[in-house]
Amino acid sequence: MFYRPKDGHDLPHNPFNAIVTPRPIGWISTRDGQGRDNIAPYSFFNGVAYVPPQVMFASTGVKDDVDGTKDSMANIKETGVFCVNIVQLSAADAMNKSSATLPHGTDEFAEAGIAKAECGEIDCPRVADAPASLECRMTQIIQIEGESNFVCFGEVIGIHLRDDCIVDGRFDVTQYTPLSRMGYRDYTAVRDVFEIIRPDD
């Protein structure tokens, strides 16, 4: 099968999201200029640089009560900071609840029963029991092709690691089972980890 996205695919569901998988989930927490907290999951998320450490996430679509984007992006534009919380399998239900479309200013932490803590370097909440949280200073927001498609880049200026996830001096993902996004409404749990030595190592 071959198709041009602009012409459509003639399938009952769009295959694009199922092709680029698995995708890590950035559980993005923000606080607006009025001090109202927000958290929402984004699967267009990844790390993009080591020095300084940097991440990105993309927001697509728009909310009726936000000007041209969604709550997370609107809050970051207002304050210049955000936190990326890593999602473990046991938090799947809370993560999913936090994806609900709620009125602007609603605290999804409270709505989804997510334990909250304060960040150390930025004025922003974080998920208290997340395996890791990355405190970020926004460096740029780029609007890309398509309506209401934005990519946010941030420099990581503070990192929280849960103590039980550090084993023999390494951050061990098998201690918490990362949750990743597949296509459609499908997710996967990362349980199998193996090492491959590069030719230049």
Buried b (16+ CB within 10 A) or exposed e, 63-85: beeeeebbbbbbbbbebebbbbb
pLDDT, one tens digit for every residue, the chain (201 residues):
999 999 999 999 999 989 999 999 999 999 999 999 999 999 999 999 999 999 999 999 999 999 899 999 999 999 999 999 999 999 999 999 999 999 999 999 999 999 999 999 999 999 999 999 999 999 999 999 998 999 999 999 999 999 999 999 999 999 999 999 999 999 999 999 999 999 999
| Residue 1 burial (CB count, 10 A) | 6
**Angle (CA) 57 59 61, round 5°:** 170
Place of tokens 């728009």: 62
Three-class DSSP labels, 172-187:
CHHHCCEEEECCCCCE
